[in-house]
Amino acid sequence: MSDAATFEALYRELEEAIRQLEAGDLSLEESLTLYSRATSLVEQCNALLDQAELRVRQVMARPDGSLEAEPFAASPTA
Amino acid sequence: MHMPSSNIYTVSQLTAYIKSLFVGDEVLADVWLSGEVSGFTQASSGHCYFTLKDAAAVIRAVIWRTQAARMALPRNGDAVVAHGYVSVYEQGGAYQLYVDYLEGAGAGQLWLEFERLRARLAAEGLFDEARKRPLPSRPVRVGIVTSPTAAALRDILRTLSRRYALVDVLLAPTAVQGAEAPAGIVAALGLLNRWSAEREPLDAIIVARGGGSLEELWAFNDERVARAIAASAVPVITGVGHETDFTIADFVADLRAPTPTAAATQVSPDERDLRRAMAGLLAQAQRALTGRLDAERARLANQAQRLRRISPALRLATDRQRVDDLARRAGLAMAGRLRHERERLRSQHLRLIALAPDRVLARGYAIVSRPDGTVIRAVAQVTAGDRLRVRVADGAFAVRATPDETEE
C-alpha cells in the first residue's frame, strides 16, 4: 500500500470517528476510546505528510504487451 | 575566340561559387516572403517540397522534416508568409527557399477544421456537463501525459511535490506536438488506463503541454485525442498552453485547467490545508467529547438527586424537619398565648389601679367611718348625734351627724 493510500485510509477513519463521536450514540467509554484513536490518527497522518517524498514512475508496455513501470528521474538538464 | 588555358570551371566549382554568393548575401540569409503555395508534397522522408508563386514569378521551397513536425503544413492555394534563407541546391541546379517558419499556412483552414470538429463532438454530447466526473480531493495516484523533457512536466512535479508529496505519480511520456503527437497522446492515455485497470487504480490523469503557437498546440485539437479523453475510465484534467488557449481536448476533459501548474494544483490538496482540516476535526472531536462528558455529568447529578430523595437518611432528615417544624409552630402558638395572657393581666392591673381608694378620694369622694373604723355604707348605720370620721384625700376630720331635712 502506498503512503498516499495509507494516508487516505487513515484520513477516512478519522472522518468516520468524528462522525460517530458527534452522533453521540456511543457509550462514554467507547467515546473516550474513539477520541484517543482520533488523536493518534491525526498524529500518524501528520507524520506521513512530514516524511512524504514525491514518487514518480514511468509506465511503459513491453514488446509482449505487458505493462511495467520504473522510477522516473527528471532529465538532468531539467 | 580561343579557349583559355586556365579559368575553366567544372559545374561543381561554378555551382559552389554561385552558392557562396547566396550564402554571403545578407538579404538572402534572412528572408520574409509572401506567396501562394502550389505543388505541395511531403516525401516519405518527411521533408516537404513546394513552390511559392505570385502573378509573375516562382520560387522553389523546402521544409525539412524537423521543422515540418513543428508547424502546420500548408496546402496548395494557401497564401502564406514564409521565413527562411535562400540558397542553392547543387544537385538540382536550383536556388530555393529553406523555410523555417510559415505563417497563415492553412490558418483559415485550421480554424474551419477546429470549428467543424467542435460542433460535431458537441452534437455527440461529448462536452456535456453531465459527463464531467468529479476529481478526488485527495488523490492516491495520478497519471501524467506529457513530454518527459518539457517544462510542463517539471512544473507539474514541482507543484505536486510542494502541495501533496504523498501522491503516487505515473508518467506516460509522449510527444505533444508534431505529426506523431496525437497518436502518442492517445497511446499514453491508453497505457495509463490499462495501468489503472490492471495494476493500481488512478484517481486522475493530467494531460499537459506548455504554451505554444496555435500550430504547436494543434495535437490537442485532434479528434483521436478528443475521443481518447472522452473514453478514459480515469477522469482527465487538461492543462494545455496558457490561460487563453482553448483546445478541443479542454472541452472534452472532465476539468480544464488553464496551465500545467494549475492542473497539478487542481488535482492535489494543499498539505497545509490538510493539516488545518485535521486540527479542525480534532477540535470537533474534543467538542463532541466535552459535550458528552457534560451530559454524563448532568445525568449523574440528576441520578444522585433522585437517590437522595428516596434514601432513609433523607427520610430521617425530612422527619426531623417535620418535628422541628411542629416544634416551631408550637412555640409560636405558645408565645401568642402568653402574649395574650400578659395583655389580660395588664388590663386587670390597670383596672385594679383605677379602683384603689386613694384614687377615688382624689376624685372628691370621702370615706365616712365610726370611731372604731367601721365604714359607713348605709343611712341605717347612722343615728343623729353620732360622731363620725371623714377621710378625704389629704387627711381626715370629725363630724357629728344631724337629722337630714329632706328625710323628715
The pLDDT assigned to B356 comes to 67
The pLDDT assigned to B396 comes to 87
Cβ within 8 Å, pair B281-A35: no
- Whether residues B151 and B83 share a domain: the answer is no
Cβ-based interface (< 8 Å): residues of A facing B: 2-5, 7-8, 11, 14-15, 17-18, 21-22, 24, 28, 31-32, 34-35, 38-39, 42, 45-46, 48-49, 52-61, 67, 69, 72, 74-75, 77-78
Highest mean pLDDT pick, A13-17, A51-55, B223-227, B355-359: B223-227
**H or E element: which one contains B397?**
strand B395-400
Q: Is residue B128 a part of any domain in this protein?
A: no
Contacts of B161 in chain A (CB under 8 A): 53-54
Average pLDDT per 10 consecutive residues for chain B, totaling 408 residues = 76 93 91 88 93 89 91 83 92 93 68 83 93 91 94 94 94 92 96 96 95 83 95 96 84 94 94 91 86 83 81 74 79 77 76 68 83 85 88 87 66
- Whether residues B227 and B302 share a domain: the answer is no
DSSP string, B54-78: -SS-EEEEEE-HHHHTTSPPP-TT-
Number of A/B CB contacts below 8 angstroms equals 128
- Whether residues B63 and B183 share a domain: the answer is no
Point out the domain boundary residue: B84, B105, B126. B105
- Whether residues B233 and B281 share a domain: the answer is no
Q: Is residue B88 a part of any domain in this protein?
A: yes
Nearest Cβ partner of A56 from B171, B198, B291? B171
Instruction: Determine contact: B195 vs chain A, CB below 8 A.
Output: yes
Sign of the CA dihedral running A48, A53, A54, A59: negative
Closest CA to B35 of B105, B110, B107: B105
Residues 6+ away with beta carbon under 8 Å from B404: none
Mutate to test the interface with B, among A16, A53, A54, A58 (most CBs of B within 10 A): A54
The pLDDT assigned to B107 comes to 58
Distance from CA of B278 to the nearest CA of A (A): 6
Complex confidence, ipTM:
0.85
Scanning every residue of chain A, which has its alpha carbon at the shortest distance from the alpha carbon of B154? A78
pLDDT value at A77 more than 50: no
d(C-alpha B400, C-alpha B388), whole Å: 6
Q: Are B139 and B201 in contact (CB under 8 A)?
A: no
- Whether residues B172 and B262 share a domain: the answer is yes
Domain span at residue B388?
359-400
Cα–chain-centroid distance for residue B82?
A: 52
- Whether residues B147 and B256 share a domain: the answer is yes
The pLDDT assigned to B353 comes to 67
- Whether residues B35 and B88 share a domain: the answer is yes
The pLDDT assigned to B185 comes to 97
Report field, pTM of the whole predicted structure over 0.80: no
**H or E element: which one contains B225?**
helix B223-231
d(C-alpha B334, C-alpha B345), whole Å: 16
Nearest Cβ partner of A57 from B171, B194, B286? B171
- CA separation (Å) from A34 to B120, B240, B281? 56, 46, 13
- Whether residues B285 and B163 share a domain: the answer is no
CATH assignment of the domain containing B45: 2.40.50.140
What's the structural domain count of chain B? 4
Sign of the CA dihedral running B367, B369, B373, B374: negative
Residue with cell 498524529: A43
- Whether residues B141 and B226 share a domain: the answer is yes
> B234 in the Ramachandran plot: left (φ > 0), alpha (ψ -120 to 50) or beta?
beta
- Whether residues B162 and B259 share a domain: the answer is yes
- Whether residues B101 and B151 share a domain: the answer is no
